[in-house]
Chain A
Amino acid sequence: MTLDKLPLGTSARIVAVDWSLLVPEEAQRLRALGIDEGARVSLAYRGVFAGRDPLAVEIGRMTVALRRVHAAAMAVEPLEPGEAR
């Protein structure tokens, strides 16, 4: 499953990122924000209009807005309820 398909409010771990789908600068920005392989994330909000873009991703105590194209490059694995602190 990719991050953009994750149901709202579910915690997940990013298991793989296909960096080739992203512009290098954007990849760098995402990594700087901690959105990288191994990060624990959850999807908090989806955008307004058709396409439900952009997305708001919670990572740690931070909320980051990104587009669906970015999220689609990230494979996630939902965490078990016990694991998801």
Chain B
Amino acid sequence: MTRGPLIAALVGNPNAGKSALFNALTGARQKIANYPGVTVERKSGRMALPGGEPVELVDLPGSYGLAATSPDEEVTRKVVMGEQAGQARPEVLIVVLDASNLEQHLVFAQEVIELGLPTVVALNMIDLAERDGLVLDPLALEVSLGVPVIPTVAVRRRGLAELGEAIGAVRSNFCSPEHARPHVTLPERRMLAHEMAHGAILSETARHRIHARMDKLLLNPWLGPLVLLALLFVVFQAVFSWATPFQDAIDAGVTALAGAVRATLPPSLPRDLLTEGVIAGVGSVLAFLPQILILFFFILTMEATGYMARAAFLMDRLMAFVGLSGRSFIPLLSSFACAIPGIMATRSIADPKDRLTTILIAPLMTCSARLPVYAVIIAAFIPDTKVGPGIGLQGLVLFGLYVFGIIGAMVVALVLRRSVTKGAASGFIMELPKYQLPTVKDLALGLWQRAWIFLRRAGTIIFSVTVVLWLLLNVPRAAPGQDQVDASIAGHIANGLAVVVEPIGFNRDIALALVPAMAAREVAVSSLATTYAVSSNDEAKTDTALVKQLQSRWSLPTALAFLAWFVFAPQCLSTIAVTRRETNGWKWPGFMLAYLFGLAYIFAGITYWSAVALGL
């Protein structure tokens, strides 16, 4: 009989350090996909037992119990019960416990062990427990739980080999009936957990107060919000200033590559496709990889350190004003990187109306795909002057655009909660995890996964859209003396569209960029780059940066209106697709599209008309 590798699953409470353990066990050999039918992320990876046998390890969403209260917990329940479509029932369960929070985590652990599957317990973060003055006896816990207990420190790779051995051992020496435990109720389990935890604690000195001391500052009613605001400001300044050298390097590389191709190949249409379409288009988007990585670096760090939950705590009151809760803050902050993981992160919001509202406003958070658009327009039209020590005008304008999006989102949420998503005000219940130093490896892995997603987009969607646009721009060829863009199919489409967008100050080139931008917003930049590369006949002029082209072709009011448009700009197709999946139908994505188009048009118009009236 042939069979696949042994399937093992990591289960445990949120904040037990499951993901760190998963990363330590599987290294970079990970696959991230979705469970069919739901958008819960399925993380799996390969590890090997000490004997060399391969194991497929699945990281299940953190859960407080098998009675699910969110779609995430539902997946965990279904997988361990063997009811999840597309996932064979795990043969071995690894329960991950936070060693310093035993009394709480042992409640769910008992429930999992009672299932009667071969189970191993990883007593994780035992070093932090020791730092907190807790000395534990894993053997005592092993006796009371009836399954092997292995002390681990995922981030220092301690106990990993022992855990592997234990997995192999429980699988081969397991006899279910003897281990099957009587079913008990939650209060009984809690009492047992209390007894077991106390039985396993050898000594407990005064609690280490470092977390409390950090919370004293970070949750302080006055200083806490200031720290959060300052942090967010630093993030956005960093996104703009730290990335510059890397961006310049990528730009230079792209230009050099285009130049080299032009020098080697004879003049022909395919050569132009390669230089103007592929290299200019994809290259202009690729240049934003550094900025996206910096933004994700901050978001991942905030999550890994435990600060994100504090931010949610601080934001809860503000969110309550518009009928949401602090829980919505995390999906919304993720949406600054990309609305897709943001919308998927709303699964942790239990209240359906709350969740729907958060999904609908997530695209108003300025995602990293809009960053290239903002960045290029700001670089072209906002002078690079300092308005204070370390504060540049360009960074300030960027910050302002983000704030504009946030205010827009809040107002929309307020209106929605009083109309289409009306319902009882939702609550806010959330564990605040302990502070932790993130490990370089986990951060690097997270960043690499984000970079890979972006590069894949650049290589597929952005690549094909750019090529199609280039073809539409070059067919049919212009008669001598005629402008190529005007003669092309794309030019005709854009001229038609321009009638609609001209009142708000947009020119034909913008109309041309708006359509492919629906595929992915950053394509607006590559579209403009391709358009201007095509329309300049002069070889030398093709090399002038997009920034210069924009400065010579756009007025300031047009540029500002374009920025305002992109604050509300209808989101990319992937966002619409994920919204459809999350809301089970076309009703809400349709609504989202309509209201975003409306707002974008109105605000771009207001911006343009005011700027013209002010004589800018």
Q: B427 is contacted by which of A59, A63, A64, A66 (Cβ under 8 Å)?
A: A66
Known contacts A32-B69, A53-B316, A61-B132; is A44 also within 8 Å of B64 by CB? no
- The minimal Cβ–Cβ distance linking A7 to chain B, given in whole angstroms, is 15
A60 and B204 CA atoms in complex are apart in Å by: 13
Summed over the interface, the residue pairs from A and B with CB atoms below 8 Å come to a total of 110
| Complex Cα spacing A65 to B433, Å | 10
Q: Is B100 an interface residue (CB 8 A)?
A: yes
Contacts of A23 in B (CB 8 A): 424, 427
Residues of B within 8 A of A61 (CB): 100-101, 103-104, 132, 207
> Min CB distance, B352 to chain A, in Å?
10
Q: Is A79 an interface residue when CB atoms closer than 8 A count as contact? A: no
B309: CB under 8 A from chain A?
A: yes
Query: Do the beta carbons of A29 and B350 come within 8 Å of each other?
Result: yes
Contact of B429 among A26, A36, A45, A47 (CB under 8 A): A26
The reply to whether the CB of A15 lies closer than 8 angstroms to some CB of chain B is no
State how many angstroms separate the Cβ of B195 from the closest Cβ of chain A. 14
Question: What separation, in Å, do the CA atoms of A28 and B103 have in the docked complex?
Answer: 18
Q: In the bound complex, what is the Cα–Cα distance between A65 and B221 (angstroms)?
A: 14
In chain A, positions 16-45 with a C-beta closer than 8 Å to chain B are 22-23, 25-26, 28-34, 36, 44-45
The reply to whether B430 and A65 contact each other, CB–CB distance below 8 Å, is yes
Considering only CB atoms and an 8 Å cut-off, how many residues of chain A contact the other chain? 34
Q: Which of B104, B215, B309 contacts A44 (CB 8 A)?
A: B215
Alpha-carbon gap, A25 to B503, bound state (A)? 50
A51 within 8 A of partner (CB): yes
Task: Check if A48 sits within 8 Å of B317, measured CB to CB.
Answer: yes
Tell me whether B240 is interfacial, beta carbon within 8 Å: no
Whether B429 lies near A65 (C-beta < 8 A) is yes
**B100 & A29 in contact (Cβ 8 Å cutoff):** no
**A54 close to B326 (CB less than 8 A):** yes
Contact pattern, B 538-579, Cβ under 8 Å of A = 1, otherwise 0 = 000000000000000000000000000000000000000000
**Is B320 an interface residue when CB atoms closer than 8 A count as contact?**
yes
Residues of A within 8 A of B186 (CB): 31
Which among A44, A63, A69 has the highest number of chain B CB atoms within 10 Å?
Answer: A63
Does A5 have its Cβ within 8 Å of any Cβ on chain B? no
Which residue in chain A gives the minimum CB-CB distance to B222?
A48
**B320 contacts A32, CB within 8 Å?**
no
Q: Is B107 an interface residue (CB 8 A)?
A: yes
Which residues from chain A contact B428 at a C-beta distance below 8 Å? 54, 65-67
The CA-CA distance from A76 to B212 in the complex, in Å, is 23
Residues on the B chain within 8 Å of A32, using CB: 64-65, 67, 69, 107
A30 touches B429 (CB 8 A): yes
**Given the complex, which residues of B lie within 8 Å of A22, measured CB to CB?**
427
On chain B, the residues within 8 Å of A26 by CB distance are 350, 427, 429
Complex Cα gap A24–B466 (Å): 51
Binary CB contact string for chain A from 42 to 85 against chain B (1 if under 8 A, 0 otherwise): 00111111011110100111111111011000000000000000
* Contact yes or no, B64 A29, CB < 8 A: yes
Q: How far, in angstroms, from A65 to B187 measured CA to CA in the complex?
A: 22
- Contact, CB under 8 Å: A63 / B215: yes
A31 to chain B: which residues have CB within 8 Å? 186
B341 to chain A, nearest CB (A): 23
**Are A64 and B429 also in contact (CB < 8 A) when A25-B69, A34-B190, A46-B221 are?**
yes
Contact digits for B321-362, partner A, Cβ 8 Å, 1 yes 0 no: 000011000000000000000000000001100000000000
Kindly provide the distance from the CB of A1 to the nearest chain B CB, expressed in whole angstroms: 21
19 contacts between A and B (CB under 8 A): A23-B427, A25-B350, A28-B67, A31-B186, A44-B212, A47-B316, A47-B317, A52-B221, A54-B313, A54-B317, A54-B326, A59-B104, A62-B431, A64-B430, A64-B431, A66-B428, A67-B428, A67-B429, A69-B427
Given contacts A47-B317, A51-B317, A65-B312, 10 further A-B contacts (CB under 8 A): A25-B350, A29-B64, A33-B104, A48-B224, A48-B314, A60-B103, A63-B215, A64-B429, A65-B430, A69-B427
Residues of A bordering B, CB below 8 Å: 22-23, 25-26, 28-34, 36, 44-49, 51-54, 56, 59-67, 69-70
